[in-house]
Amino acid sequence: SAVEYGLDAPFSVEYHDSIPSTNARARDLAAEGASDVVVLADEQTGGRGRLDRDWHSPSGGAWLSVLFRPDVPMAHAPVFTLAAAVAVTRAAREAGVDASIKWPNDVLVRRGEEERKLVGILTEMEGEADRVSWVVVGIGVNANVDPADLPDEANPTSLSAERGEPVDRRLFTQRLLEEFDSLRQDTEQVVEAWREYATTLGQQVRVETPGGPIEGEAVDIQFPGALVIETESGTEVVSAGDCEHLRPV
């Protein structure tokens, strides 16, 4: 509930017990001219994921969307997705869950060969090429939810499942928002912080893109979020938005 949250965040917070989608609500607030608002919900009834998928959002999760108006060109906006991944990874680690980041924006927990998805991030934006008008970063954290209640194909886990006990959602969300606030104001540090938590670097990967698959060793990431891959025929740079799927090979 809102009482459980009582956040002292660097954003104003709009809390809903249940809402179709915090991203949709944040977009409406953007259209009304708002900024620096977090929309937070215990449950979403129409949560949206990347590539037009549904995002299951039962009660107990930390489903939130941050609306802000950064002074950056449109091409730099993907850095805020990475910033969210870093912020949520730090907050999860502080809560005792050993999370890491799979490029571009999955936060997961590894157990041996297995990777279980803990968080999904969906960034939406509007503006002109030379200047973003608004950005909505939607962050879906499987916080206190039973992975058995989430669709299998995502291979999901949750903070509570990893810890063996519920997480304090107020504290967790507060830390996440504090980290995100600091990273969004200093985007240069995002890529460096991201490298520290990335599982992808050094891996042989295959990335599906609109222009076809790219296979090779993931060697680095570049501002504002592209993956650098050494292929047999040379170096390829894949932007985060062009990644339809990435798997180790």
CB of 79 to ligand BTN, least distance (A): 17
Nearer to ligand BTN, 216 or 240 (CB): 240
Q: Which is nearer to ligand BTN, 44 or 187 (CB)?
A: 44
Strand pairing partners for 206?
215, 247
Q: Which residue type does 25 have?
A: R
Provide the minimum distance between the beta carbon of 42 and ligand BTN in the complex, in angstroms, as a whole number.
12
Decide the pairing of beta strands 62-68 and 245-248.
Answer: unpaired
Start-to-end CA span in the chain (Å): 44
How many residues comprise the chain? 249
Q: What is the DSSP letter of 238?
A: E
Q: Select the span of 46-54, 89-97, 155-163, 193-201 touching ligand BTN (CB under 6 A).
A: 46-54
The site string for ligand BTN over 59-98 (x = CB under 6 A, - otherwise) reads ----xxx---------------------------------
DSSP for residue 167: -
**Which residues, 106 to 125, sit near ligand BTN by CB under 6 A?**
120-122
Extract the tokens encoding 40: 């937070």
Is residue 47 involved in binding ligand BTN (CB under 6 A)?
Answer: yes
Cα–Cα distance between 31 and 241 in angstroms, integer?
Answer: 24
Binding interface with ligand BTN (CB under 6 A): 21-23, 44, 47-50, 53, 55, 57, 63-65, 120-122, 138-140
